């Protein structure tokens, strides 16, 4: 008979769940993962990875149009949307298979089915063949999240899409409306706009990418507009009238409503946690709107029950989920666990130009009462950026004027999603401006701008 008793059962195999399972197994615990759909969760199958594969195709296509700038020629740049999507699905499949391999290698039992918690220490799993009950002293909920829907703006997969539809689009949109300019909305807007869709983004807040530093948002907006995107800020889509092959969107701004026709709408208005059907009420687990309430160690208040990743609230990022997974596994194994510091988690958006940040924005630091020193450095002052043909962008750093602590770093431009980790390490090591200024950055690299931005905060920038 198959094993039913474990040290740890993880419900959900996204970057929170599978990483928690592997770390727990590494620490000698007997582990099972319950997954109802695909190993790897949203991240590998419908989120981080397949979007980046699509965006890479868009980036190459964009560069094909710029071939002449590099002394090259392309007869006729073109694309096959099906092939672009197939590549993205292939990448997702490859990585999901990789997770299966890693779980097997670490001797983690995988049970495919829908899990719920009928009582403390028990997981009931509905499988294809019926149902079974597994037991464990420790259960980790890692069931993730799904697209939020607003009344009247519900996706139908034809005219109105969620991210899942947009990842395998039934057609190339001609006139596209994207509702919401957070990371998911802007990445899809960037992808379809680059491939030639006439793209409008509607954002309810006063700027695109509203959680980013205001200067970075403004810089990114200018670049999006240069690429032909239309950005409507402080605006709300109040209604969608669906007709044959077209949608009339009612867009409200400052009390006035205008209508505009589109052939496709992508709704990217946030996510909601997968809290339903798990038996949380009966267990007495606190849920705030659609997220499980936990302490900094991801404990739910019910003995032996933890919640990690998207189901446990913001920031809704894969690396936050994975870090929480490792922390909880180590906590269960009796090791010293390091809680996540939300202000040290970088956020990256892979639009064109890319955007990346960590820590406090300038405005937030000031709101918190810090006296700040701010440094800025433009891509145009960097040799590598010019050699790459990517002179548009900037790096901004925010320091505590009193202590020299790096409070935040904000970037827009080519490859900044790869650069940001330098500042993340700096923050983790509680670095100050002195250490950063004394660090030797290799030449020629984009990373030299990270140095220059720090130097600029103290009036010492060399190349600008």
Q: Which residues contact ligand FAD by CB under 6 A?
A: 11-17, 34-38, 41-43, 47-48, 51, 114-115, 142-145, 163, 184, 274, 278, 309-310, 316-319, 321
- To the query of whether residue 338 is one of the catalytic residues in this protein, the response is no
Q: Is 183 annotated as a binding residue?
A: yes
As measured in angstroms, the least distance from the Cβ of 388 to ligand FAD is 22
**Do 397 and 455 form a contact (C-beta atoms < 8 A)?**
no
Q: What is the DSSP string of 347-383?
A: EEE-SSS-EEEEE--HHHHHHTT--EEEEEEEGGG-H
Least separation, in Å, of the C-beta of 141 and ligand FAD?
9
Among candidate residues 319, 443, 451, 463, the one labeled active-site is: 443
CB of 404 within 8 A of CB of 344? no
- We find the least distance from the C-beta atom of residue 145 to ligand FAD, in angstroms, to be 6
217 is in an annotated binding site: no
Does the annotation flag 310 for ligand binding? yes
For ligand FAD, the closer CB: 277 or 389 = 277
Q: Output the smallest distance, CB 204 to ligand FAD, in A.
A: 19
In the bound state with ligand FAD, the residue whose beta carbon lies nearer, of 95 and 365, is: 95
Q: Which residues of 201-223 are buried (b: 16+ CB within 10 A; e: fewer)?
A: bbbbeebbbebbbebbbebbbeb
58 is in an annotated binding site: no
Using the minimum distance from each CB to ligand FAD, give the nearer residue, 16 or 359.
Answer: 16
φ, ψ for residue 125, nearest 5 deg: -120, 125
Q: Is 181 annotated as a binding residue?
A: yes
Q: What is the DSSP string of 399-412?
A: EETTT-BEEEEEEE
**Edge-to-edge strand list for the sheet holding 175-179:** 160-161, 264-267, 175-179, 198-202, 230-232
Cα–Cα dist 197/246, whole Å: 15
217 vs 354, beta carbon nearer ligand FAD: 354
Contact of 91 with 50, CB cutoff 8 Å: yes
Helix (H, G, I), strand (E, B) or coil at 391: coil
Residue ranges for the known binding site are: 52, 115, 180-187, 203, 270, 310
Active-site residues, by number, are 443
């Amino acid at each position: 008979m198959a094993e039913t008793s474990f040290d740890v059962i993880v419900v959900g195999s996204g970057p929170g769940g599978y990483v928690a399972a592997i770390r727990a197994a590494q620490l000698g615990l007997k582990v099972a993962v319950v997954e109802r759909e695909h190993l790897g969760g949203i991240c590998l199958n419908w989120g981080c990875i397949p979007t980046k594969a699509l965006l890479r195709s868009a980036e190459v296509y964009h560069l094909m149009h710029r071939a002449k700038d590099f002394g090259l020629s392309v007869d006729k740049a073109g694309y096959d949307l099906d092939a672009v999507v197939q590549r993205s699905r292939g990448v997702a499949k490859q990585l999901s298979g990789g997770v299966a391999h890693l779980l097997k290698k670490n001797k983690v039992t995988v049970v495919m089915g829908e899990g719920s918690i009928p009582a403390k220490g028990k997981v009931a799993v509905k499988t294809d063949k019926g149902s079974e009950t597994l037991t464990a002293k420790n259960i980790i909920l890692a069931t993730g999240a799904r697209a939020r829907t607003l009344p009247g703006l519900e996706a139908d997969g034809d005219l109105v899409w969620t991210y899942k539809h947009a990842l395998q689009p039934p057609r190339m949109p001609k006139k596209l409306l994207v509702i919401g300019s957070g990371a998911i909305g802007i990445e899809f807007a960037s992808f379809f706009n680059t491939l030639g869709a006439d793209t409008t983004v509607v954002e309810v807040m006063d700027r695109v990418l509203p959680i980013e530093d205001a200067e970075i948002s403004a810089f990114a907006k200018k670049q999006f507009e240069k690429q032909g995107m239309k950005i409507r800020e402080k605006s709300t889509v109040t209604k969608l009238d669906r007709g044959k092959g077209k949608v009339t969107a009612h867009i409200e701004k400052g009390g006035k409503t205008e209508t505009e026709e589109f052939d496709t709408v992508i709704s990217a208005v946030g996510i909601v946690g997968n809290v339903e059907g798990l038996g949380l009420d009966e267990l007495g687990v606190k849920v705030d709107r659609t997220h499980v309430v936990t302490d900094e160690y991801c404990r739910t208040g019910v003995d032996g029950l933890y919640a990690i990743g998207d189901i446990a609230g913001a920031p809704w990022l894969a690396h936050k989920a994975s870090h929480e997974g490792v922390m909880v596994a180590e906590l269960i194994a009796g090791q010293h666990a390091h809680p996540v510091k939300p202000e040290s988690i970088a956020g990256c958006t892979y639009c064109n130009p890319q955007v990346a940040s960590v820590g406090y924005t300038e405005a937030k630091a000031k709101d918190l009462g810090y006296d700040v020193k701010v440094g800025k450095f433009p891509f145009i002052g960097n040799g590598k950026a010019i050699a790459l043909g990517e002179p548009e962008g900037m790096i901004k750093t925010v320091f505590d004027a009193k202590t020299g602590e790096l409070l935040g770093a904000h970037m827009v431009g080519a490859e900044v999603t790869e650069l940001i980790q330098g500042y993340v390490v700096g923050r983790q090591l509680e670095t100050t401006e002195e250490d950063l200024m004394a660090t030797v950055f290799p030449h020629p690299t984009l990373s030299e701008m990270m140095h220059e931005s720090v130097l600029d905060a103290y009036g010492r920038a060399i190349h600008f």
